[in-house]
Chain A
Amino acid sequence: MIRFDAVRKEYPDGTVAVEDVTLEVPSHGVVVLVGSSGCGKTTLLRMVNRMVEPTSGTVSIDGVDVRSIDKVELRRSIGYVLQAGGLLPHRTVADNVATVPVLQGTSRREARSAALGLLERVGLDPKLGDRYPAQLSGGQQQRVGVARALAADPNILLMDEPFGAVDPIVRDQLQQEMRTLQSELGKTILFVTHDIDEAFALGDEVLVLRKGAEVAQRGTPAEILANPADEFVSRFVGAGTSRRTLSVREVDGRRIVVDGDDRPTGVLAG
């Protein structure tokens, strides 16, 4: 469990990135922080592995204040996936995935062969292990990023807009596969995105943030859609827009779901 306790981040120039946040991320679940850019969601995420130190308040993992853990050790024990993978361009894909285990003292040979297994796990051909990141597509690089984060078998995964740089079709696939992977692995995942649809697609729980990382609403995607807490959340999730206002039409004996503009979006099952 990750816990933020009265956390605040103020930069020397007076900018307040995180106002006063207290929240818990339960173990083995996916919690998505969603908000527009500059709302402090990434700052919050980066506090967990001490890439950002809060000005006041504490962040703890399973009751242990992260400040009491050596930064480097802490970061190696937490998987981190960032946009465009953040891979090392001068190392092969397999070496990239093997980075953390090698830093932790696993032999390079052993770490590399484990890396090939991980590539398969995230849906990549292990043959790509000998390639360099620049030879892979954006979606493939993103998968490598996920494989690298999983390499040291961490309990916690931090994901910072990992699918922001890939095209929508690939993003859908990656989201779907991430759900499958998570159902097998059961990691504690804190996921940051500005895309509400991605938040709803991935989150067991979603936190809608406004400026200063203030939690405007926390709930399951269904709860938030059913009952937006206020005007801000309702606008953010697009409640009441034609895209979110679905109704059912009967066509040729089948029930078709249409949006507010009468555009069909799917078929009701059963």
Chain B
Amino acid sequence: MNLFAEAIAYLLDPANWQGPSSLGLRILEHLTFSGAVLALAAAIGIPAGVLIGHTGRGRGLVVALTSGARAIPTLGLLTIFGLALGIGLEAPYLALLVLALPPVLAGAYAGVESVDRATVGGARAIGMSERQIVLQVELPLAAPVLIGGVRSAALQVISTATLAAYVSNTGLGRPIFQGVKAGDYEVMLAGALLVALLSLAVELVFQALQSAAARRAEPTAVPARATARAPERNTA
């Protein structure tokens, strides 16, 4: 319990939030780095997943990739990349990309795949182009599941991005590794607590995004607004 009190005292000490070793800077680094990983994972995974879901081609690829990637230990991957690429951000960036891509891809694919085929067929039959079907029908309807994929990727990346400090002195991994090395366990714990809090905060943001998307995809499932069933007119 003593260690916890010390860690909290460390977090509350204004001195630790100033200067070049400020915890605020570490949080910023951590978020920027995680964000950069997620951005590329989304830029590759969402179009690829949407395309596979839309065309139905390459389903096997998604399954193989998502289940296969789950078995890859990120620390091992990071070590391999680190040995190949040396000290710096490249190795952890790549290792985290491998971690983030499968859930993003799977979410995008599963979201589009789950859109009722009759709805898509109807949209096509009345004259929507394939592009319009993707943008105006499949994406809005797939958005909750798609965002769910990004959300789980974001959580994994943020918690695992601590490993970046293993080969480059950056992010919230820095106080953790530093605390371990120097035997300053309250510093280590303070870093770990910040990672946990950051994950929670990001989780809340994505939760809000996801429910906003769900409201758009299924406007009638919202209990709030005036959504009472239309009175049956006796003509139909």
Contacts and interface: CB of A to CB of B under 8 A. Distances in A.
Interface of A: 46, 49, 51, 72-77, 80, 82-90, 99-100, 103, 123-125, 128, 131-132, 134-137, 139-140, 142-143, 148-149, 170, 173-174
B2 interface: no
B118 A75 contact: no
B122 interface: yes
12 contacts: A85-B122, A86-B126, A88-B123, A90-B217, A103-B132, A135-B229, A137-B230, A139-B236, A148-B126, A149-B126, A170-B236, A174-B236
A242 B101 CA distance: 66
Contact of A86 (B121, B132, B218, B227): B121
Tier of interface size on chain B: 20 to 34
A46 B232 CA distance: 32
Contacts of A131: 230
A123 B236 contact: yes
B236 A140 contact: yes
A132 B217 CA distance: 11
Contacts of A77: 127
Contacts of B137: 88
Given A73-B127, A139-B236, A173-B236, A82 B122 contact: yes
B233 interface: yes
Contact of A51 (B124, B132, B216, B233): B124
Contacts of A128: 230
A135 B218 contact: no
B125 interface: yes
A143 B127 contact: no
B236 A75 contact: no
B127 A100 contact: yes
A143 B229 CA distance: 17
Nearest to B125: A80
